[in-house]
Amino acid sequence: MSNRRQFLQSLAAPAAFPMIVKASALGRGGAVPPNSRVNLATIGCGNMGNGHLSNFLKIAECKVVAVCDLDEAHLTDARDKVNKAYASKDCATYHAFEEVIYRRDIDAVSMACPDHWHGLVATAALKAGKDVYGEKPLAHNFHEGMEIVAAVKKNNRIWQTGSWQRSKPQFHQACELVRNGRIGKVTRVEVGLPDGPFDYARMKGNVAISDPPANLYYDRWLGPAPEAPYSAARVHQNWRWNLDYGGGQLMDWIGHHCDIAHWGMGWDETGPYEVSGVGEYPSRTELWNSARRYRISLKYAGGVEMIIAGGHKDITSGTKWIGDKGWIWVDRSGIKAEPAGILQSTIGPDEIHLTKSADHYRQFIECVKSRQETITPARIAHRSATPGWLGQIAMLTGRKISWDAEQQKILYDDTAAKLLRRDMRKPYNL
């Protein structure tokens, strides 16, 4: 057995490690000196992590110095990609993220591991003085999202969520028009998401149990999730469709279109007061056990109803705000409005101007250096994901959820409230 495999098997929860790393070497008060290049490590080098890597390698003010993954193939590919970009052989490789965050010369990390690892990796990195670019949704569940938000605040760190639509012009335009009353009083918001699992890794039906491949540290991949036999359909990319690791299409997309819905409504610091929903779930014993179709109704202050749906033809993909003077719809494919002339409207100097970002990754690096808040900080990402977490609970319990958006807690239903968090497999804890 290799030394690294022994090390991985010996690891307990990250919180059990003494967080001795200080950011003082980075600059005054833990800040990166404004004229310095940001040293960054990528934790998770699969599909999304590889995309992050490509974008950070384009930024001159950023230097990728290390990559970390539990799959040897992912790790090797990522290392070679970095070394090719810099025409060097300097990129360090790690299997354990703890080894990454202990490095004093690393200023920030890009985190793109499966959702069930978000809480542990993120809080450990933040406590170690690292700024974080973290994939959406913020966390696997509400409780772990709250822990991330608290760690960002306590450790005075910079966080950018991968809700990159806020850095695209059509979404920015749509939200500014809605916020400035171009469609009048908004009465309804529609959020259309995909339905059913999408077989990213082309593993449909390949659920046979086998020994894990030699190149994957599988028990460590499971981490805080329940012990389960290896299946090729359980891991890379398709982990999203199992509720132990992800939340199906609902949670995979909530940080995009629901995030935009909130931005346009000015709901970044609040949430619904009532949530109900119906989901079509397969048997919980199936490997891919997330909802195939779903429809969630949420009520917000001021009589506004928001519908989040996947697999329902009356709700179009993207975000649509409906007001008493018209509507605006936006998606990655474009933007539309009725009346159409709304889109020609100019936002005046005394009106609401939302934060503008032309490049989501570059904005993170700029904020690491300036110590200014990013366009998608953790606390806002947490609010954007909350409708998804609550909707999932409402669908799984079959009950209407009453939510205190100020205190951020479920009212009158202790059973539902317990689903805001999960038990972690020992020895992991947060």
What is the per-residue pLDDT across 127-168, written as a single tens digit (0 to 9) for each?
999 999 999 999 999 999 999 999 999 999 999 999 999 999
CA–CA distance, 310 with 124 (Å, rounded to integer):
34
What pTM value is reported for the model?
0.93
Contact 330, 174 (CB under 8 A): yes
Query: Sorting pLDDT into bands at 50, 70 and 90, what band is 280?
Result: very high
CA–CA distance, 122 with 375 (Å, rounded to integer):
18
pLDDT digit string, tens, across residues 24-61? 334 445 544 545 899 999 999 999 999 999 999 999 99
CA–CA distance, 324 with 343 (Å, rounded to integer):
17
Query: Positive or negative CA dihedral for 265, 271, 274, 278?
Result: positive
Contact 112, 52 (CB under 8 A): yes
Token readout for 36 is 């310095």
Look at the chain and count its residues: 430
Which position has the higher pLDDT, 21 or 244? 244
Q: Hey, what amino acid is at 191?
A: V
Dihedral (Cα; 142, 143, 149, 155), 10-degree rounding: -160
Beta bridge partners of 242: none
Residue 25, judged by CB atoms within 10 A of its CB (0-12, 13-18, 19+), counts as: exposed
Query: Sorting pLDDT into bands at 50, 70 and 90, what band is 203?
Result: confident
Per DSSP, helices labelled H in 293-339 are: none
Q: Does the N-terminal peptide bond of residue 14 adopt cis geometry, omega within 30 degrees of 0?
A: no
Beta bridge partners of 133: 110, 160
What share of the chain has pLDDT > 70, as a percent?
92
Per DSSP, helices labelled H in 138-270 are: 142-154, 169-179, 218-222, 248-253, 259-265
What per-residue confidence (pLDDT) applies to 207? Answer: 83
Query: Positive or negative CA dihedral for 220, 225, 228, 229?
Result: negative
Contact 306, 188 (CB under 8 A): yes
φ and ψ of 411, to 5 deg: -100, 145
What per-residue confidence (pLDDT) applies to 2? Answer: 52
Residue with tokens 């967080």: 19
CA–CA distance, 254 with 360 (Å, rounded to integer):
18
Class of domain 169-200+240-355+377-411 (CATH, top level): alpha beta
Query: Sorting pLDDT into bands at 50, 70 and 90, what band is 285?
Result: confident
Which position has the higher pLDDT, 4 or 228? 228
What topology is assigned to 3-165 in CATH?
A: Rossmann fold (3.40.50)
CA–CA distance, 68 with 348 (Å, rounded to integer):
47
Token readout for 371 is 């110590």
CA–CA distance, 293 with 128 (Å, rounded to integer):
40
3-165 and 169-200+240-355+377-411 have identical folds: no
Q: Does the N-terminal peptide bond of residue 114 adopt cis geometry, omega within 30 degrees of 0?
A: no
CA–CA distance, 339 with 414 (Å, rounded to integer):
46
| Distances from the Cα of 213 to the Cα of 78, 217, 227, 235, 286, angstroms | 19, 8, 17, 11, 22
| Distances from the Cα of 123 to the Cα of 13, 245, 414, angstroms | 11, 18, 27
Whether the predicted pLDDT of 420 surpasses 60: yes
Whether the predicted pLDDT of 333 surpasses 80: yes
Count, in order, helices (H) and strands (E) of the chain: 13, 15
CA–CA distance, 101 with 123 (Å, rounded to integer):
11
Residue spans of the domains in the chain: they are 3-165, 169-200+240-355+377-411
Token readout for 197 is 């699992």
Angle between helix 142-154 and 378-397 (nearest 10): 170
Query: Sorting pLDDT into bands at 50, 70 and 90, what band is 313?
Result: very high
Contact 260, 380 (CB under 8 A): no
Q: Residue 74: which of 48, 108, 97 has the closest Cα?
A: 48
What per-residue confidence (pLDDT) applies to 3? Answer: 55
